[in-house]
Structure 1
């Protein structure tokens, strides 16, 4: 049961991370609003599974490893719930303002807001952390990051790989947002040039 719970947690947050990655590339405002709504639903479902883990673990006989495994993705999930959800809500409302015209293109500002690192990166890191918690839930790891039957070298390699993956996710999200953000100012700069303002 532990593996099922943490596996469901990982699946929901990984799906949310993948959907968030494609949010800025939506072709129309209507499609962006739909993706933002689905993303909000996935975050809600993932949060519900977080809440269900200690309840189910308490109802099961014996010692459950699920609560300890769920602690790993809890920190990035808190970032999602405190900062990411608010930004996602702004994107959803912003896309809704343009969605009345089905073929309305996505404004550059809205596309840059959808690519903000606080939307995609914490979701993807939460999914990654939940996947890392699967060996703990399966009983392959006795204590988080300490005792691994395969040897301590496995633990060090796993920690290093996770650290590299987190860094890559964060850098990629920041670079994409940095590439889209200047497009927001470009129309204003062109308007100033036409008006003769320097």
Structure 2
């Protein structure tokens, strides 16, 4: 198998998951319930496309004879992709169904609780980490980095680890801020109990 086929597979994987990460990042910014549902639907399709590329990698390398670096490149983003497929998709479905409850009034502003649910770190972080790991897999697919034992691989893992921490902290802060906005009306609407003297 030649390097071009490996790069096409690894590139398709990176494009699908980077696009999913970008859409997931914009998901809590939806202003209306219809927009939130539409974005959640697009994100679901992007995750399905990314999962389909994961399935295509071993099939294509099995059909085309020769040595391939694509499976090694796809191995790096496989772990965060499993987290997306087991936990993130379920949360994304909850957001989509919640936004779908406003189908009769599509211009209703997105409720703060739904926006907070859309910003949950289990939706955002694994998708962005999968895209980043797929991007790091491109030099592996091109044959520029040999696995295992490459010094470049150690540097790449360190950089990806630091990026994962930064993405996780950013997602947790944003989710916390949106959660507080969802709870703020509850705190203000407490009835005052008259004090008897």
TM class by smaller structure: over 0.9
Q: Deviations over 1:15-59 (max 9, x none)?
A: 000000000000100000000000000000100110010000011
Aligned to 2:193: 196
Q: Does 1:27 align with 2:31?
A: yes
Aligned to 1:111: 115
Match 2:84 to one of 80, 87, 90: 80
Aligned to 1:12: 16
TM-score (norm 2): 0.92
TM-score (norm 1): 0.92
**Secondary structure of the residue that 1:34 maps to in structure 2?**
helix
What are the residue-to-residue correspondences of 1:26-175 with 2, within 5 Å?
26-144=30-148, 146-147=149-150, 152=151, 154-175=152-173
Match 1:186 to one of 179, 184, 187: 184
Extract unaligned runs of 5+ from structure 2: none
Once superposed, what is the RMSD of the aligned Cα atoms?
A: 1.3
**Secondary structure of the residue that 2:101 maps to in structure 1?**
helix
Paired with 1:50 and 1:88, the residues of 2 have a C-alpha distance of 20
Report if aligned partners of 1:32, 1:95 keep a CA contact under 8 Å in 2: yes
Report if aligned partners of 2:145, 2:153 keep a CA contact under 8 Å in 1: no
Paired with 1:51 and 1:100, the residues of 2 have a C-alpha distance of 38
Extract unaligned runs of 5+ from structure 1: none
Paired with 1:97 and 1:195, the residues of 2 have a C-alpha distance of 32
